[in-house]
Structure 1
Amino acid sequence: MPTSPPIHRPKGYKPKEKWQRTNRTAGKTTTERGYGWEWQQTRERIIKRDFGLCQPCKAKGFTTAFKDIDHIVSKANGGTDADSNLQCICDACHKEKTAQEKRQG
């Protein structure tokens, strides 16, 4: 059976390292990630206000339990942590909203 020919590598050649996604939050507590006591209090307030239901689903007539607290206007686009800018959101709606925001730039 034939074998492949030897691969020529120039002197000093080093293969590129394979790119890997890093998890910047791995092993960090919520406080270390920037979600301290004040955020926990705000989060609980939003959950109570929204009855733990996904607000985008509720607007479409569905009843879905929330997974995250979402900034309606992202902080990167000038949004704040004010209660009026926060909502309970399920995983599917959060992914859809994030994808839409990325498309809009």
Structure 2
Amino acid sequence: MANPSILEGRSPVPAHARNPRRAYDADGREITPMTLQNAMDRGVTALRAICACGHEAEVSIHVGRWASTSFVPDAGMTLRCDACGTPDPKTRPVWQRQGHRP
């Protein structure tokens, strides 16, 4: 559940007006997505781009490609699928794998 103090003052967004690149809480208020800087601070070095055609690729996060204040879901707006050429794949952080657990 999102921190209520963060959501204070935000109005619910009607379902028909919601951005498909955003998450919403149970009351319909937009949840601010992770920025690239926030992802990098947590050890993320790449994004996974996922196209509707089923093709997936990892894209390195490096200085200059996107502003550090860009949101992770918005990075896909500048990408195009290598397999089919479709623009705007969904993007997610590639989390570092932890060691094996017993």
TM-score (norm 1): 0.22
Q: Which has the larger radius of gyration?
A: 1
Structure ranking higher in helix proportion:
1
TM-score (norm 2): 0.22
Q: Which has the higher contact order (CA 8 A, sep 6+)?
A: 2
